[in-house]
Chains A and B, each alone.
Chain A
Amino acid sequence: MADVTNRPNEQNFRRPGGSVSRYSPALSLALVAPLMLLMSVGFLYPIGSLIKLSLFTPALDLTSYRKIIEQPIYLSVMARTFRIALFVTITSFMLGYPVALAMASLKRRLAAAAAAAVFIALWSPVLVRSYAWIVLLQRNGVANNVMTELGLIEAPLKLIYNEGAVIIAMTHVLLPFMVLPIFAALRSIPQEYVCAARSLGAGASTAFLRVTLPLSLPGVFAGCVMCFILALGFYITPALVGGPRTLIVATLIGQQATVLLDWPFAAALSTVLLITTLIMVLVFRKAFSRSKGFASVD
């Protein structure tokens, strides 16, 4: 990372230096204390007892973990979860980047309309959106009816309760989490950079590839991590549009905990999901902080 202290940009001039801007340690502690308390009661304690539950029954017992490794079905559920999360992230990026780019470059009123479309998608309940996909994709659903009417297909296709449906519906649900960080990153790129690239001989597409895209990578990174992690633990949408055969980790945990009441095994699955998610985040971070676009942009 670059040395930030002697950077002669405007932000440095506005920031009051020294003691004025710093809180005393006691005050800082007081400010974060309520959240710390809530986190330790509502997050750290449950996580701790979850891990304990997965390991001790009441003596140290690794059967739950052994079960995950030994039975191929659970590993394939894991693999499916990561595959779906990866596809959802990729499709969200491919659909989301152009939207973010349009939002960032449109004139004020059109940009507001595009932003409203994204926000409405974000604010409408996940359950509603998932059911909407059922309505669209089911056997007698809108998609099948339209295609039959147009004569494209003879008999209704099986569009729902498979991996494809899960990917489509989850992409729809998670798209705003991809669009908004990219939009924010694109908006923060001064127009002069593109002008400079153009006047230095770059065509519109070269200017985009060499300047706009690399400078928007922090937003792409944030969006991808958010999408991927949310997708790894997604429950409602896969449960509704995935059907029983498209089991992913979250639905599997739900099943074990609420139907089969095998709490130690559910806890073990949760712990594995948690740890792999943490590892993914660290790997992503490492990879992106190496790229120049990320390292040198504010």
Chain B
Amino acid sequence: MIGETLSLQSLSKRFGRTSAVEDVSFNIAAGEFVSVLGPSGSGKTTLLTMIAGFEAPSSGQISIGGRDITAAAPNRRNIGMVFQKYALFPHMTVHQNVAFPLRMRRLDRVAIKDRVRRILDLVQLVGFDDRYPNQLSGGQQQRVAVARALVCEPPVLLMDEPLGALDKNLREAMQFEIKRIQSKLGATVVYVTHDQDEAMTLSDRVAVMCGGTLVQLGTPADIYHRPQSPFVAQFVGKMNFIDGECQRDEAGTCHIRISDRITVAVPSPSLDGAARLQRGRAVKLAVRPENLSFAQPDSATAIPGHIDAEIFVGAFRLYLVRLATIGQPIVQIQLPASTSIGPLRRGGRVDLYASKEAFHVFAAPEV
């Protein structure tokens, strides 16, 4: 294991009046793979450039293996970094690119040759030593970039959307490759991406960022099944939102009125302390498309609506249903492609069901 812990403490970065990163803190264990997930402009790349040392934080502290590196120069941090566009030096061959960090550390010729050969073997690029970057395909360039970042066995590896420039199939192959290399070397990885699938596939934990702040940090399953905010809920996976109003919130069950006649009982949201949702409080009821169905399970409340569209998506079938509830939202229902549910026509009336546990309740922001 070469990985070390990485700890960020109330890290902030302001550019003039705008705040790119605000009070972000988290600890990453040695050898852990953490993705920083967020839409563009969420501050994830700024966070990475601060860890790498290209931007000084406005406030806060960064430490690696317990050593404070907040003020250290980028070349004294011993961090490997893979850039979005790889940033391979165009005037150097593959060998010279990969040997660059070793030469900077003044290793002798024999040791350099040996380590370059070993790392090129690891990324399966043996025999490409004398090529220039512009003679390589995108995937090969990407692997050279990974090899160059890892050849010094840095305890922390940063990756800034390293697969963004590749096409879909290659991207998936490279995800496995990155995971394989990481688990073999045991480096701590911070992986910035806006692709939720990528974050879910690769990571031990996912840090979701929005507007410069860290909104949720947890395992992929945690993020997916227990989103703590509507933003996380709809950014990771698909989520339907149904407007409602709280009627009663007691004994761990919350009764939400979603139309004049329909009230659903769902688990109470986990609010701070013992706080409960106030009666009459506007809420958003969230449920994932795959948790909705047309078949009635036990003791579930029917939510009526009309079919708006049916879409065949290969592995599954997607139905768009306009609900007869407050605001008449359109929700998606995802069913296996094999299930046939009889003649459902556009405009046909249906009842939707979901188990109680499938619902999440978010208090709508107070006006």
Contacts and interface: CB of A to CB of B under 8 A. Distances in A.
B25 to A, nearest CB: 23
Nearest to A3: B135
Q: Interface residue tally of chain B, by bracket?
A: 20 to 34
Interface string A1-18: 011101111000000000
B137 A8 contact: yes
Interface in B105-132: 105, 132
Interface string B134-176: 1101100100000011001000000000000000000000000
B87 interface: yes
A199 B81 contact: yes
A8 B142 CA distance: 12
A203 B73 contact: yes
Given A3-B135, A201-B105, A293-B91, A195 B83 contact: yes
A198 B83 CA distance: 13
Given A200-B75, A215-B91, 10 more contacts: A2-B134, A196-B83, A199-B52, A199-B53, A199-B54, A199-B77, A202-B75, A292-B91, A293-B91, A296-B134
Interface of B: 49, 52-54, 73-75, 77-81, 83-85, 87, 89-92, 100-101, 104-105, 132-135, 137-138, 141, 148-149, 152
A4 B90 CA distance: 13
A64 to B, nearest CB: 47
A56 B130 CA distance: 55
Contacts of A196: 81, 83, 87, 89
A198 B149 CA distance: 12
Interface centre among B54, B87, B133 (most CB of A within 10 A): B87
Q: Interface residue tally of chain A, by bracket?
A: 20 to 34
Q: Which 10 pairs across A and B sit closest by C-beta, in order of nearness?
A: A201-B104, A192-B87, A200-B101, A196-B87, A198-B74, A199-B81, A293-B91, A7-B134, A8-B138, A201-B75
A297 interface: yes
A9 B84 CA distance: 13
A198 B54 contact: yes
Contacts of A211: 89
B167 to A, nearest CB: 10
